[in-house]
Amino acid sequence: MQKVIINGRFLSQKVTGVQRYAREILKELDKIAKPHDLVLAVPCEVNDIPSYKNIDIVRIGNLKGTLWEQISFSSFVRKNKAIALNLCNSAPLLNPGIVTIHDVKIKAYPQFFSSKFRIWYNVLFNNEAKRAKVIITVSEFSKKEIERYYYVKSENIHVVPNAWQHYTKINFDENTLSRYGLEKGKFYFAMSSLEPNKNFKLIADAAKRDSSQLFVIAGSINERIFSNGVGFECPENIKLIGYISDEEGKTLMRDSKAFLFPSFYEGFGIPPLEALSAGCSSIIVSDIPAMHEIFEDTVMFINPLEANYWPCEKKISAEDRKRVLSKYSWVESAKRLIKIMDEYRK
């Protein structure tokens, strides 16, 4: 049976949703994989490498970033006659192997991205659609989108969803509210990378409509990738607090009046699921397919195109919280991925 070599480029990147997915999936894969059956290849620039029991780790090449992935990693996989496992959207153009495409917002909302980024990812995704042995994605909605935009047969796409159990290992930081000058239950909270598709402008518009309410937004913007920066002016009742720790984020989710997630487009969207697990009493999300798939009828849905202020929040019952959280598990996702890998290895 072919050895699987995992693309470890994600370890050199800041942890957002796709990197979180890779890290958590590998933690669980390590518990169930046979010794030496999986190899994690990492670039020379990575200093903080997780410790694994069954997954072997090897540093390869002297290149960085995309060049490492396309040259060093690709050559290493080919030399070992192995199959590549890519968990974070991008993969070698030659023999991409098993590829995870988290979403196709590059197709759905191309205007949100710089031309350079848009061209490169269109090349990558088109190549992956044609050459990958199998495509992994994170929701049924995202699976349908890949079929729609890239004409991939349904049987060649498998859903291995995100989960939330990593949040149980994060402690609350009880100094968070005083650190940011906040009071429990008296602010709305949103947290994500400030990508245009996250639609934080809707929060700014809502803040302008009701100056008595306080809105707190945590996250950072990568202006090299996204075409228009933050894209909105902040009224005085919005606090932009930048990139925060996991402990701070979990605490602000728990202590907010409601967690806000007004995205135009998501393949999955981990933050509101994290908020649910953190004990957030109310969650307000966009009325889009991925959110309905995950949360069913347990949260409040809003039109991402309308800036009307939402005057009340739907409280989440303990029963509903348990029902939604029980659908997603990193352990079950890892088991599903192992089964898929075994099916496509020689």
Q: What is the pTM of this model?
A: 0.91
Core vs surface per residue 111-145: b (16+ CB within 10 A) or e: ebbeeebbeebeebbebbbeebbbbbbbbebbbeb
Q: Which residue has the tokens 């999986």?
A: 38
What is residue 243's predicted lDDT score, i.e. its pLDDT? Answer: 85
Instruction: Kindly tell me the sign of the dihedral angle through the C-alpha atoms of 314, 165, 157, 74.
Output: positive
**Domain annotation for the chain: domains and CATH numbers:** 4-163+329-344 (3.40.50.2000), 167-325 (3.40.50.2000)
3-class secondary-structure state, position 341:
helix
Q: Taking a C-beta distance cutoff of 8 angstroms, is the pair 286, 263 a contact? A: yes
Residuewise pLDDT in 10s, the chain (346 residues): 889 999 999 999 988 889 999 999 999 999 999 999 999 999 999 988 999 999 999 999 999 999 999 999 999 999 999 999 999 999 999 999 999 999 999 999 998 888 999 999 999 999 999 999 999 999 999 999 999 999 999 999 999 999 999 999 999 999 999 999 999 999 999 998 767 778 888 888 888 888 999 999 998 754 443 334 455 677 899 998 988 999 999 999 999 999 999 999 999 989 999 999 999 999 999 999 999 999 999 999 999 988 665 656 789 999 999 999 999 999 999 999 999 999 988 6
Q: Where are the alpha helices (DSSP H) in 73-155?
A: 74-79, 105-108, 115-131, 140-150
Q: Where are the alpha helices (DSSP H) in the chain?
A: 17-32, 65-67, 74-79, 105-108, 115-131, 140-150, 176-179, 201-209, 246-255, 270-278, 289-295, 318-325, 330-344
Cα–Cα distance measured from residue 285 to residue 126, given in angstroms and rounded to the nearest whole number:
30
What is residue 198's predicted lDDT score, i.e. its pLDDT? Answer: 84
Cα–Cα distance measured from residue 126 to residue 117, given in angstroms and rounded to the nearest whole number:
14
What is residue 118's predicted lDDT score, i.e. its pLDDT? Answer: 92
What is the DSSP code (8-state) at residue 111? G
What is the DSSP code (8-state) at residue 226? B
3-class secondary-structure state, position 184:
coil
Instruction: Kindly tell me the sign of the dihedral angle through the C-alpha atoms of 244, 249, 255, 256.
Output: positive
